[in-house]
Structure 1
Amino acid sequence: MIMERFRAASHAEKWQLDYLFDLSFQAWLVHIGVVTAVMALLVYVWPGEVWPFVWYAAMCAFSGGLAALAWYYTHRRPADEGEAHPYGLAHTGLTTLVGITWGLGAFGAATGDFHHLLVYSLALGGTALGAVSSQHVLPRSCFVSLWTSVPLLGLAHIFHDPGFFGATIFGMIMLYAGVLSILTVRMLRFMRTNVDLTRSLDAKLAEITEMAAELEEARHEAVEANLSKSRFLAHASHDLRQPIHAIGLFTACLRDLDLETEARQHVRSIDDAARSVSRLLGSLLDISRLDVGGVEPQPERFALEEFLRGIIRQNADAARDGGGTIEMETRDIWVNTDPALFSTMIQNIVSNALKYAPGSNVRIVVRREGGRAVLEISDDGPGIAEQDLRHIFDEFYRAEGGDAPKPDGLGLGLAIVRRLAGLLGLEVEIASAAGRGTTLRISGLPLSEPGAATVPRAHRQHPLTGLRVCVVDDDAEVLAATATLLKRWGCEVAEFTGLPEAACGCDAIVSDFDLGGDLGGLDVIARLREMEGWEVPAAILTGRSEPETLKRLAGSGIPLLRKPAHPAELRALLTGFALGDEALEDETAAS
């Protein structure tokens, strides 16, 4: 057991030798300086004696050897513990010789007066304390240095004074050696604890770094997956919207036919189903674009009253079908925000009110408040229970408790409203209680100065009658459905799947954005205008939703209808073209 403990104490890890030799070079140079000062004293006290020079030569040789050993170690830096071990053994051997030389020099000093021996003792004691400071990390070298020099110093005092005084000093010197040994052990324990703590921290840091790398990789994969999903939805949206758009156009044509009551009901059911699919697809695309930051607000100044009247017209049929109404109370207020994003917010709120509170009166109120515009949309429906109100803005959350209606949907409408409000710098609040209706409040709308007033134009009873429309779409079904619907409205239609070879004398152009060839919808419109020789009013129909595409379309100045476009929107736009860019309320309401 004792031998095992001795081996454990004698064993030196590489970190101990690294620390030892990093300090040794300077320490041994200082030691040579101390030895030189002591040698000067010895020569002064014992002039003509040879032994001080022999003692000094031995000390310089051993100290110089230790300094060289430290320099060589630090510049070669052994790769592992096996390579470092011989350096440790050499260090212990040389410190043993240094300790013995210090001890033997004490006997030479003891041949003189006591105060000469006392000065030597102070030098040796200070050197021993320095050895503890610089060599405690390698205890075997430190102990050898202490227990070869200090006991000999004690014996030298007995040699100088064999009596009680010498013996007392010997005891004090041995006690000093014991204290230094205890200090060595404690300093080594502190160093080991510090090293263990450092290793533990390094291991934890490596673990955290590895975890951070894994998390970053997972985050990158999640972002890529999200981007891939959004890219897929953006590219697939065109193909998904095409058949829905065609269904809407064909059902609009069927509604104009003299059908039996049962057939009309079937057409209406088909149209409702197509609208439902369109709303679900639109919600998924909107939330996907918001997830990847693909929405950038483009603020514009516009009249809020006219803007809201357009939304009311779009939802008038749905309100009437549900047995309710939509009313508005507003003033001549102009605001500065992104009309498309703001329209999506209001449309989602109004749609929710019409779905979850059928038969109720939806009321839109606008007023100024603190230098900003505030908009409130309220209904007198069944309201929202308190437990649902806390989650009403969460994605995919639907309040389905109690007797409230359970319409189709994904629970994304109000989540999109909250996200868009954040983008536009607006605040959205909701107030509701079961049986007391619901009110959504949008505040923070920036006010703007009114623009130039528009001049009303003469009323036409049938503004689309005889309007010559050039329709361009590479999808045969959509092209046929659009042409059929326009013809039933009284338009004269020229149908093309690509760029016409010559001018067709059109009054308006309706083109798909993606035409499957080298030329897109914007290119076809530009070429047609060149052929016709004037800026023919035009509209783009598209199912695309990528920010770059939408930005390009917005920059073209050509009106955009998102597929699946409701026939009323297309009719209102063409009526505007026929009347000189101003659609009459009677016509749009009739659609």
Structure 2
Amino acid sequence: MMLRDDDPPQRQIQKLRRINTVLIDRIDRLEESRGSAWSMFQAAVALEQEVLTRTRQLEKALADLSQRNRELAVARAAAEEANRSKTRFLRAASHDLLQPLSAARLFLSALADTPMDDHQKELSERLSGAFESVEQLMHAVLDISRLDSQRIEFHRQPVALGELFRRLAAEYAPLAEAKGLRLSFVPTDAVVESDPVFLRRIAQNLVSNAIKYTNQGGVVVGMRRKNGLCWLCVYDSGMGIPAVDRNRIFDEFQRLGNDHGTPGMGLGLSIVRRACSKLGHPISLNSEAMRGTVFRVGLPPVAEGGGDRCAEPPDTALLNLRGRVALVIENDPGMRRGYEMILQDRLGMVARVTGGTAEAVATMGEEPPDVILADYHLENGDTGVAAIETLRGRASRSVPAVMITAHRDPEIARACAAMGVIALEKPVRPSELAEVLGRILG
């Protein structure tokens, strides 16, 4: 828009006003643009300061987190060392703790074979029950310690369920009979793969638990095949397990109901869960109120065979022990006397008791014994392994042997397996010892 000299003044004024308006508008827009840029600049500066502040806070938080991680690492290392110390203590103390228990069990078993009046029989039974409770608690504590250890080793091998059932029947028949219950084991030829020691402990805890919580009816133990596994099944006609308690019962020190007269500390099913988890054996349960419970443990099958049918009857096997010579190597005088009473008075064997390898060699002379019973932990660094190897070397043949130990050590288990020696854990049951001797000498 341009001013012309020939335009009237009024028109020139109007043009000037429009020009002025346009210029003012341009200036306003320019000011607004300049203000926006300045605001953006100020916002960028403020944001940068905020980023720096947040960065410093993050760096401090990361430093605190690193310090906490270091503290947690130290605490975890201390806890692991404490757990290892606990395991070492229990391993070292187990021999001294179980030694007197084992001797007491042998003496009580020998006492039960002597004539007694009713009062003496009652005292003997109560003593046996008390020692049984202490033994179960000791085994539970040691088992949990082993299963919680990161260095535990399992020895998987074929296990004949029929043989396991026969041993469990002999072990728990008196307990079921005392409660007026029927205890039945369904015959089976199944052979499964598992650790024989821990599989027996699993079955023992399930059977014992079933008997404890069943007041009428009975308990049935059997095997069923399903989904490619052999399921060890323990049925009972007890009170049943409420649905809300079916996870809790596998925790330590958990017991159903408020019946404080029921023996036990509530550790059995915790051991079952730990052992099954370590061995990879699935476990399940079904229960119905007031109608009973069934626990199932899935075991991988190995083969089928008739090994159980060929097993010699227990009574016949025990008859084979009469007059057989057992060389006992045990450094504890009480245990030596206990073995002597059980082997001679109950089983009719000839017991030669010694305290170490040198004495055993001198006692053996030229005629080797029919079987060697050796404690693992002897005096002055002597061990049952060394004693058995020395005696077999002197006899120039592999004399049958049984190792009795309180040390639950994989090295001992491997050594016994390599030597073809049966290992029994203390406190040894006289009936179990008789059964093992009858089997290896039958």
TM-score above 0.5, yes or no: yes
Which is richer in helix? 1
Is structure 2 residue 411 aligned with structure 1 residue 522? no
Is contact 1:328–1:363 with CA below 8 Å preserved after alignment? yes
Distance of 2:95 and 2:217 partners within structure 1 = 35
Is structure 2 residue 288 aligned with structure 1 residue 415? no
AA partner of residue 348 (structure 2): G
Is structure 2 residue 84 aligned with structure 1 residue 221? no
After superposition, where does 1:105-254 map in structure 2 within 5 Å?
Answer: 181-254=38-111
In structure 2, do the counterparts of structure 1 residues 547 and 410 end up closer, same or farther at CA, with 3 Å as the change threshold? farther
1:489-542 Cα distance to aligned partner (Å, 9 max, x none): 211111111112432431111110000223210100111112223211110111
Could you tell me which residue of structure 2 aligns to residue 327 of structure 1?
184
Is contact 2:105–2:429 with CA below 8 Å preserved after alignment? yes
Could you tell me which residue of structure 1 aligns to residue 284 of structure 2?
429
| Counterpart pick for 1:571 among 411, 422, 434 | 434
Query: Which ranges of structure 1 fall in alignment gaps of 5 or more residues?
Result: 1-164, 580-591
SS in 1 for 2:272: helix
Is contact 2:181–2:215 with CA below 8 Å preserved after alignment? yes
Could you tell me which residue of structure 2 aligns to residue 364 of structure 1?
221
Distance of 2:293 and 2:25 partners within structure 1 = 99
Is contact 1:374–1:441 with CA below 8 Å preserved after alignment? yes
Is contact 2:318–2:434 with CA below 8 Å preserved after alignment? no
AA partner of residue 349 (structure 2): C
Q: Kindly state the Cα deviation for residue 383 of structure 1 after the two structures are TM-superposed.
A: 2.6
Could you tell me which residue of structure 2 aligns to residue 349 of structure 1?
206
Distance of 2:143 and 2:185 partners within structure 1 = 27
Distance of 1:169 and 1:205 partners within structure 2 = 53
Is contact 2:107–2:338 with CA below 8 Å preserved after alignment? yes
Q: Kindly state the Cα deviation for residue 397 of structure 1 after the two structures are TM-superposed.
A: 1.0
Distance of 1:174 and 1:366 partners within structure 2 = 93
Distance of 1:441 and 1:200 partners within structure 2 = 56
Is contact 1:400–1:406 with CA below 8 Å preserved after alignment? no
TM-score normalized by structure 2? 0.86
Q: Kindly state the Cα deviation for residue 169 of structure 1 after the two structures are TM-superposed.
A: 10
After superposition, where does 1:20-35 map in structure 2 within 5 Å?
Answer: none
Q: Kindly state the Cα deviation for residue 173 of structure 1 after the two structures are TM-superposed.
A: 8.5
Is contact 2:413–2:423 with CA below 8 Å preserved after alignment? no
Distance of 2:137 and 2:247 partners within structure 1 = 23
| Counterpart pick for 2:356 among 483, 498, 510 | 498
1:389-428 Cα distance to aligned partner (Å, 9 max, x none): 3411112211133xx5632322111111111111222221
AA partner of residue 337 (structure 1): S
Is contact 1:380–1:436 with CA below 8 Å preserved after alignment? yes
Could you tell me which residue of structure 1 aligns to residue 303 of structure 2?
449
Q: Kindly state the Cα deviation for residue 388 of structure 1 after the two structures are TM-superposed.
A: 3.1
Is structure 2 residue 238 aligned with structure 1 residue 384? no
Q: Kindly state the Cα deviation for residue 172 of structure 1 after the two structures are TM-superposed.
A: 9.0
Q: Kindly state the Cα deviation for residue 283 of structure 1 after the two structures are TM-superposed.
A: 0.5
| Counterpart pick for 1:512 among 348, 371, 375 | 375
Q: Kindly state the Cα deviation for residue 460 of structure 1 after the two structures are TM-superposed.
A: 6.2
Could you tell me which residue of structure 2 aligns to residue 307 of structure 1?
164
In structure 2, do the counterparts of structure 1 residues 187 and 542 end up closer, same or farther at CA, with 3 Å as the change threshold? same
Q: Kindly state the Cα deviation for residue 176 of structure 1 after the two structures are TM-superposed.
A: 7.2
Is structure 2 residue 396 aligned with structure 1 residue 533? yes
Query: Which ranges of structure 2 fall in alignment gaps of 5 or more residues?
Result: 1-21
**Structure with bigger gyration radius:** 1
After superposition, where does 1:386-401 map in structure 2 within 5 Å?
Answer: 386-401=243-258
CA RMSD of aligned residues (A): 2.8
Q: Kindly state the Cα deviation for residue 180 of structure 1 after the two structures are TM-superposed.
A: 5.1
Distance of 1:173 and 1:193 partners within structure 2 = 30
Distance of 2:143 and 2:317 partners within structure 1 = 38
Q: Kindly state the Cα deviation for residue 452 of structure 1 after the two structures are TM-superposed.
A: 7.7
Distance of 1:540 and 1:326 partners within structure 2 = 31
Distance of 1:243 and 1:360 partners within structure 2 = 37
Distance of 2:415 and 2:52 partners within structure 1 = 63
Which is richer in strand? 2
Q: Kindly state the Cα deviation for residue 179 of structure 1 after the two structures are TM-superposed.
A: 5.5
Q: Kindly state the Cα deviation for residue 259 of structure 1 after the two structures are TM-superposed.
A: 1.7
TM-score normalized by structure 1? 0.65
Could you tell me which residue of structure 1 aligns to residue 137 of structure 2?
280
SS in 2 for 1:383: coil
| Counterpart pick for 1:463 among 320, 324, 337 | 320
Range with greater deviation from structure 2 (512-521 or 404-413): 404-413
Q: Kindly state the Cα deviation for residue 565 of structure 1 after the two structures are TM-superposed.
A: 0.8
In structure 2, do the counterparts of structure 1 residues 433 and 406 end up closer, same or farther at CA, with 3 Å as the change threshold? farther
